[in-house]
Structure 1
């Protein structure tokens, strides 16, 4: 797909959630270019690093479900921004913490640079502190009296 329409790019953002929920790491090839660059500290470089991260997430949260809450495309079509919700049960190692059996919800904001209908570069922000609180890895912040 040499030229992507606005609708194509919105679909790409939703396809990310579908692929994450499918737990099929091979499907990342559908949306990410071979020279993919990920600026997430948890991910190793390249498309293979993304596959490894997804595999690790699935191992720790085998019932993971990802929902696209918003998908926004830049006016020039070079960026896709998504707001996602991740729901699952922490039953195995996740972000360095052994399984607790506790459910959690995590949100992310992802920004991708797009070329030829595929993601080529990625930045994100994850609310991992909230996840750590939900699974009991860190205590909740004290509330002011």
Structure 2
């Protein structure tokens, strides 16, 4: 039987880093509550995760996520992740931090908070003024 940490790692490694959407159907509850800003919330659970993966991989070409720190406490997995790839519009390499909090129940992802550092991304591609 998979642990919640193993389920989380599958989402990160196979889903976001490899673009494999199959785990979403197994891991997500139909009533997934998503808290990430601008994520779709008008569709059931697995399609929410699939849309997030597809959007992330469109936004950053060659996207790879690496878990740098993780804590599993009860039904919740907390992680700090480094996302790297290439901005498709500018061609510039990018690297941002992502904070993820995922709550599981009965082997399913039921609630998620994803917080990508979008300001760092905008700064790296030149959309924000340079630091003084």
TM range (shorter): 0.7 to 0.9
Q: Are the equivalent residues in 2 in contact too, given 1:35–1:120 (CA < 8 A)?
A: yes
Q: Distance in 1 between matches of 2:117 and 2:18?
A: 22
Distance 2:59 2:114 in 1: 20
Match of 1:11 in 2: 6
Per-residue Cα deviation, 1:28-54 (whole angstroms, up to 9, x for no partner) = 223221211100112001422221222
CA contact (8 A) 2:11 2:23 kept: no
2:30 pairs, out of 27, 30, 34, with 34
Question: By how many angstroms is 1:13 displaced?
Answer: 2.5
Q: How does 1:97-136 map to 2 (within 5 A)?
A: 99-136=89-126
- Segments of structure 2 that go 5 or more residues without pairing to the other structure are none
RMSD: 1.7
Displacement of 1:10: 2.2
Contact 1:85 1:106 in 2 (8 A): yes
Q: Is the 8 A contact 2:16 2:53 kept in 1?
A: yes
* Alpha-carbon separation, structure 2, partners of 1:52 and 1:124: 13
**Unpaired stretches in structure 1, ≥5 consecutive residues:** 92-98
* TM-superposed deviation, 1:104: 0.4
The answer (yes or no) to whether the contact 2:16–2:56 under 8 Å persists in 1 is no
Q: How many residues align?
A: 128
TM-score normalized with structure 1 length: 0.79
Supply the distance in 2 between the matched residues of 1:125 and 1:57 (Cα, whole angstroms).
Answer: 12
Which structure has the greater CA radius of gyration? 1
Aligned twin of 1:50: 49
